Each structure stands twice: as structure tokens, then as C-alpha cells.
Structure 1
Amino acid sequence: MTAKNVLGTALVPCSTDPLTGWYRDGCCNTDEADRGLHTVCAVVTEEFLAFSQSVGNDLSTPRPEYGFPGLKAGDRWCLCAGRWEEARRAGFAPEVVLAATHEKTLEVTMLGHLQAHSM
């Protein structure tokens, strides 16, 4: 089966530079082991990165031991749906690429919220 995005069509890649995704395949795919639900294809901003760091998830600092390059504004990244929703409620939600955001995201936030922040 082909994974679907929040629009009900085939999921498209989010980013290969930096390489993102639960499977590190460039797509915001997921499975039952993905407890964080890394399904939102977001274009991160400085404001979002600062917010994320302030709530305990530093996405800016490289972690080579995990193959993580550290993110900078403008990078696309498969965010945890819960973190994106938390950032939205706090006023720091980054833009979303709807075609690259997995349909499982709709278990955490509403399509209208995603559309309000879509590119």
C-alpha cells in the first residue's frame, strides 16, 4: 500500500538534504514503533527552533552520533505531530508541506490547522 498524505493522495518526499523521516528515507512515513509520530513535513523557522529548544527538544545542535546534522531555518524536517501541535498552540508552528505530511497526523491535529500553516 502507498502511504497517503493529509489530502488523501500519495505521500511525497519531504527532504533528502537534510535526510529526514522515521526511516531516514526522506518521507514522513510512520509505523507502530514511531511513538513520536514523525509525520509533519515542516519548514522550520528560527522561532520554531528556539521554541522547540525551550521545551526540551534541541533540533539546532548537530548530533553526529545519531546522524543528525542539526537544523537551520528553511530546512524541511519530519516533525513529531504532537510537537507541531504544541508549537501551533504556542504561536510558533512552522509552515507545513501538506502533500508530504502523513495522514496519521490527523490523529493529533485538524486538517484546518495544517492548512492555515501550509506553504
Structure 2
Amino acid sequence: MMAKYFVKSSVDCAMMGKYFVKPSDDCEMVGKYFVKPSDDCEMVGKYFVKPSDDCAMMGKYFVKSSDDCEMTGKYFVKPSDDCEMMGKYFVKPSSDCEMSKEYSAKPPNNYAKTNLKSINKSFI
């Protein structure tokens, strides 16, 4: 008795999970499935993938890196000469911008840094 069904097991079958399956000599057990790997494939996570010569392993994927790209976080990005590294991104700063928290903010030309309370008192 298996679960609530009667099943007929065979000599050339193996128990997988709650089913009887017939494995093959050229297959490998991957997770809960039998898969047929290839000579030019590599095991990545739970899948067999075919890497390329001009690809690099990034995280769980094969990506194609470029000579003029840099590794930033988990991506290849192309930095520019007039860009700066901010956090995990390359950003282009401006001469009329100031660093405000994590972003570049553009202050207005006709405003000075003043205290809000002093402005309110001057109008009273």
C-alpha cells in the first residue's frame, strides 16, 4: 500500500518522491528529476548550463563581460571618464550640484542656506 493507491513496482524502477521512475545509465539525479548532462555543460544551481569561452560566471548565470566594463555589484557596467562611483551606480556629477544624502541635488542660484525659523520671524 502506497499512500492511497496500489502501485506496481518494477525491478528496473527506483522510488523517487512518491513515484516509481525508471532511471537511465546516462542520467544523473538533479533535485527530484533525472537529467542527462552533457560533456560541455556545467552544473549551475539545479540546472546544467553550457558556458562560453567569452563568458564569466556571475552569481548563478554566465554573462559576457567586455574589456571596457567593470564589475559593479552583480553586473558589468561601462564607466565613463566623467562619471564617479556612487553607491553601486556610476553617475555623472554636475558642477552646479551638491551632494545631498545619496543623490546629487541642484541648489537654486538665488537661494542661500538659511534657517527656516529666522525666515518666519522676519515676516512677523
- For the aligned pair, the TM-score class normalised by the smaller chain equals under 0.3
Q: Which has the larger radius of gyration?
A: 2
Higher RCO (CA-CA < 8 Å; seq separation 6+): 1
TM-score for the superposition, normalised by structure 2? 0.19
Name whichever structure is richer in strand by fraction.
2
Name whichever structure is richer in helix by fraction.
1
TM-score for the superposition, normalised by structure 1? 0.20
